[in-house]
Amino acid sequence: MTNQIAVIFDMDGVICHTNPYHSKAFKEFFSKRNLSPTEADFAAHMYGKSNSYILSHFLERVVEGDELLQLEDEKESLFRQIYEPFIEPIAGFVPFIEDLLSHNVKLGVATSAPLANLELILGKVSVKHYLGSVLASENVKKHKPDPEVYLSSAANLRVSPDQCVVFEDSFSGVSAALNAGMRVVGVLSSHTIEELPPCNLYIEDYRDISFAKVLALFD
């Protein structure tokens, strides 16, 4: 049994239910370009994916470099505008964080989203001062399912991957955490158990999860 545990959270679908608002932002973004992806298209090609993948997939060409930055900025600005009035954490998130803190668990956030989105959300869900590591898309070279963001988080928190538990909601995110050699709790906010790689534990929200249940994952 390790004596120091770290818990690392993804953001979209894990701290907040942002996916419906990302869908709205992308719908608006694509409708300006006469495209109308369905919810099924988004489930397959948006949730948990990087913007370079999403834009290249739906625009049917490689989107990179300056154009990627420009289009990403347009879409993410739309998202922030649409989502700002509705920001709230998933049920039980803040009490769970406080429970972890009271047991000296190290905490981090690792998202594929841009830093501006992370700052918007952490501006409303006031847990930033508890976090020992905060990483967004600008902080990594390789996106999930590559483990880079989780391995960098562990390094920031000064723990080894086998001391970490990751909370993730997407296939690529769970894969990234598993690829990093970490334990994973699947948050079923946008996918079913069947749609995710096998996790150590699954939750709907944070009302029934506790430090004790996280600790039990190391038994």
Distance CA 200, CA 92 (A): 20
Distance CA 93, CA 100 (A): 11
| Closest by Cα among 85, 78, 88, 17 to 51 | 78
Dig out the tokens for 7 from the structure. Answer: 């818990």
142: Cβ contacts below 8 Å, ≥ 6 apart? 148
User: What pLDDT shows up at residue 39?
Assistant: 87
Amino acid occupying residue 89: P
CA dihedral (90, 94, 96, 100) positive or negative: positive
pLDDT at 138 > cutoff 80: yes
Structure confidence by residue, pLDDT tens digits, 103-122 = 999 999 999 999 999 999 99
Q: Give yes or no: residues 155 and 55 share one domain.
A: no
C-alpha distances out from residue 190 to 20, 138, 202, 218, Å: 9, 24, 13, 26
What mean pLDDT is reported for the chain? 95
**pLDDT-based confidence at residue 3 (cuts at 50, 70, 90):** confident
User: What pLDDT shows up at residue 164?
Assistant: 98
> Of the ranges 16-25, 37-46, 133-142, 172-181, which one carries the lowest mean pLDDT score?
37-46
Q: Is residue 1 part of a domain?
A: no
Q: Domain of residue 188: give its range.
A: 6-16+88-216
E strand or H helix that includes residue 150: helix 148-157
Dig out the tokens for 164 from the structure. Answer: 């970490």
Instruction: Say what percent of the chain tops pLDDT 70.
Output: 99
pLDDT at 77 > cutoff 70: yes
Angle 130-131-134 (CA atoms, 0-180°, nearest 5)? 155
pTM: 0.92
Q: Give yes or no: residues 101 and 38 share one domain.
A: no
Looking at residues 126-155, what average pLDDT do you find? Answer: 96
Structure confidence by residue, pLDDT tens digits, 23-34 = 999 999 999 999
Q: Give yes or no: residues 126 and 161 share one domain.
A: yes
- Terminal-to-terminal C-alpha distance of the chain: 7
Dig out the tokens for 183 from the structure. Answer: 């334990």
User: What pLDDT shows up at residue 46?
Assistant: 86
Looking at residues 210-217, what average pLDDT do you find? Answer: 98
Looking at residues 159-164, what average pLDDT do you find? Answer: 98
Give the max Cα distance, the chain.
Answer: 55
User: What pLDDT shows up at residue 1?
Assistant: 45
Q: In this structure, are residues 89 and 15 in contact, taking their beta carbons and an 8 Å threshold?
A: yes
- Report H helices in 103-147: 115-124
Dig out the tokens for 44 from the structure. Answer: 């397959």
In this structure, the strands spanning 106-110 and 6-9 are parallel
Instruction: Say what percent of the chain tops pLDDT 90.
Output: 89
User: What pLDDT shows up at residue 194?
Assistant: 96
pLDDT at 49 > cutoff 90: no
Q: What is the CATH number of the domain that holds 169?
A: 3.40.50.1000
Q: Give yes or no: residues 100 and 154 share one domain.
A: yes
CA 200 to chain centre: 17
pLDDT at 7 > cutoff 90: yes
Please give the radius of gyration of the chain, using alpha carbons only, rounded to the nearest integer.
17
What domain count does the chain have? 2
Domain boundary among 85, 106, 134: 85
Q: Give yes or no: residues 41 and 143 share one domain.
A: no
User: What pLDDT shows up at residue 50?
Assistant: 82
User: What pLDDT shows up at residue 104?
Assistant: 97
